[in-house]
Structure 1
Amino acid sequence: MRELSGKVAVVTGAGGGIGRALALGLAAEGMSLMLADVEPGDLADTASLVEAVADGGKVLTEITDVSDPVAVEHLADRTFGELGAVHVLCNNAGVFQGGRMWTREPEDFAWPLGVNLWGILHGVRAFVPRMIDQDTEGHILNTVSAAGLFAIPYLGPYSVSKYAAFAASQSLAQDLAAAGSRLRVTALCPGGVRTGLNRSGRHRPENLVAAGRAEDGDEEVSAAIIDGLVEEGIDPSEVARAAVAAIREERFLVLTHPGYAEILREQTEALIAGALPSFSGRGDRAGGRDGGEVLPGPGERGGGRSFRL
């Protein structure tokens, strides 16, 4: 999809981080935008920033919980009704929940699955049929995560939701190709990025707050991991530039850090050999901002450096 100017894009999770950067990048390309988020104040701030750089496009906003299919359907109805079409759909909203697989309660999985997976599924169901009917070029960009390719200790609920998001993206791309559609798909898999992902718990619904779960310190370790990834991460604008380039180049997979391609290759080779992929002993080759982010090792409560992504 080479020509973006004059077209329409939808961005969920637009209140900050990657979503805000995507909105700014697409607005600078001359696109009209529907921006969605659960936080009214953050969404209004993004809209003000976007309007300042918009190159002739309209900017609309809608408070939307992407885990709610009715809310996403309303978002689609309003977008098509007021902007007339959708050419780029960015299913970007995401939340973080870490912890070990055997200590987390059902709510700890339900919350990230509701946003990170069902947010994409609801977006696909509400927008894609109408985008297909337009019979124009179009693109669906799903913000997955490197955690959707590499399962990391202490990030179980988050990784489960992101692996599923990656599978949803690949399945969607395959289905569209088999149907002869002009729509294309990108699975955006960033690593550490300076966003508010480590503060996403403030948006957690009360009915999905786990009660009485057994704590063994894993919450503290997972918090240290995500804090480190955010603090040492790349700027969201770098991710947005890669995303816009992927839309133009019709690229399916986008990795944001140079070392990730090699890690993915090593992971694949380990799986083919029937082995469990490991992140230990990565050394400086994959550490830091050149190739990845440092993760604390087991029992180190955020102070160790044995796992790297």
Structure 2
Amino acid sequence: MTAADRVANRIAVVTGGASGIGLGIAEALTAAGATVVIADIEEGPLASAAARIGADAVRVDVSDAASVQSLADTVRERFGRIDIVCNNAGVGHLAPFSDLTLADFRWVLGVNLWGVIHGMSTFLPIVQETSDAGWIVNTASMAGLFDAPGMAAYAASKFAVVAVSETIAQELELAGSAVGVSVLVPGLVNTAIANSERNRPDAVRGAPPQLDQIPPGRALDPRHVGELVVEAIRAGDRYIVTHPEMLPIVRDRHARIEAAFEAAALAEQTP
């Protein structure tokens, strides 16, 4: 099997595909020869995006397991198989922990974490059954590798996505599965995530975010991120990094953890 076989002529599903990173991934997959179904909660932008890039469109609420199952059933009925799944839908809510409500946590975790869990539990068995070289990409964030003030809810969801992705990837390898898993850890990308409140259901309505500025950095075009995802699927990469200049921040966190282990080891040796 060539690397291109993992993408060309494959059936792909991208959640959160009406805009931002999801749309960039969908565009890159389409350009690489895949047949793409984009799914999103916003019907108007979903229809417009699908028409523009030549993709199929299915509305989905990734926080609802039944909605994700309906999406999977629709795609399988339409195409007979599913090869690539990008669990990408996500929302952002930055605020100090003292200002976060339980509703804020339920909303952010419901989309960012449960959206991935629903996607994995629903799509993974189908991809395993119907694809000879399937691949799943879960979108986390650099906030899944280090934390910062105001990110308690968001980072909690993204750290968990990294952990879920790493664990399932190892389990699939041990089982000799033909399906692989990547985790996307993007830094700043030109998306509308800062305006996520537009899609927040009344049932988990909370106070508006107190930190309305996304941390500064080099903002990438979503299409470029999509191309990185396609390259990673072809190469079988576990991690997809968009901003290599952020490595020192990740290293600093790891160094502090290592220092704690070294201190614990030294304490055990001290009479």
Which residue is equivalent to 1:29? 32
Aligned CA-pair RMSD: 1.6
Q: How far, CA to CA, are the matches of 1:235 and 1:25 in structure 2?
A: 12
User: 1: distance between equivalents of 2:27 and 2:102?
Assistant: 36
CA distance in 1, matches of 2:119, 2:112: 11
The unaligned stretches of length 5 or more in structure 2 are 262-271
Deviation at 1:45, TM superposition (A): 1.6
Counterpart check, 1:89 vs 2:81: no
Quick check: 11-20 or 264-273, which moved more?
A: 264-273
| Cα offsets for 1:232-284 (capped at 9, x unmatched) | 51111121111111101111111111212333223211211129xxxxxxxxx
Secondary structure of the residue aligned to 1:9 is strand
TM superposition shift of 1:2:
2.9
Q: Find the counterpart in structure 2 of residue 301 from structure 1.
A: none
Distance 2:119 2:80 in 1: 17
Task: Give yes or no for the alignment of 1:129 onto 2:125.
Answer: yes
Shift in Å at residue 49 of structure 1? 1.8
CA distance in 2, matches of 1:209, 1:113: 14
AA partner of residue 91 (structure 1): N
Does 2:268 correspond to 1:265? no
Separation of aligned partners in 1, 2:88 and 2:196 = 14
Q: 1:247 aligns with which of 202, 222, 233?
A: 233
* SS of equivalent residue, structure 1 residue 274: helix
Cα shift at 1:34: 1.3
Deviates more, 1:133-142 or 1:241-250: 133-142
**1:93-134 alpha-carbon deviations (Å, 9 max, x no partner):** 000011122331111100010110010110111110111122
Counterparts of residues 135-214 of structure 1 (less than 5 Å) = 136-210=132-206
Does 1 or 2 have the higher relative contact order (CA < 8 Å, sep 6+)? Answer: 2
Question: 2:71 is matched with which residue?
Answer: 75
Deviations 1:112-171 (A, max 9, x none): 101100101101111101111225111100111000111111111111111111111111
Equivalent pair of 1:255/1:261 in contact (CA under 8 Å): no
Larger deviation, residues 257-266 vs 118-127: 257-266
**Partner Cα distance (1:88, 1:116) in 2:** 19
Percent of residue pairs identical:
37
Please list the CA deviations of residues 47-94 of structure 1 after superposition, one character each: whole Å capped at 9, or x if unmatched. 12212xxxxxxx321110000000000000011110111111000000
Relative to the length of structure 1, the TM-score reads: 0.80
The residue aligned with 2:20 is 17
Distance 1:2 1:179 in 2: 24
Is contact 2:84-2:127 (8 Å) kept? Answer: no
Cα offset for 1:19? 0.7
Correspondence for 2:265: none
Q: Secondary structure at 2:231's aligned position in 1?
A: helix
On the 8 A contact 1:24/1:49 being kept in 2, the answer is no
Q: Distance in 2 between matches of 1:48 and 1:134?
A: 27
Corresponding residue number in structure 2 for 1:282: none
In structure 2, relative to structure 1, the CA distance for the partners of 1:175 and 1:158 (3 Å cut) is: same
CA–CA distance in structure 1, aligned partners of residues 32 and 203 of structure 2: 40
Distance 2:240 2:25 in 1: 14
User: Per the alignment, in what secondary structure is the counterpart of residue 173 of structure 1?
Assistant: helix
Q: Secondary structure at the match of 1:121?
A: helix
Alignment of 1:230-245 (within 5 A): 233-245=219-231
Q: Does the 8 Å contact 1:12/1:92 carry over to 2?
A: yes
CA–CA distance in structure 2, aligned partners of residues 135 and 237 of structure 1: 26
1:223 to 212, 227, 231: 212
Structure 1 or 2: larger helix share? 2
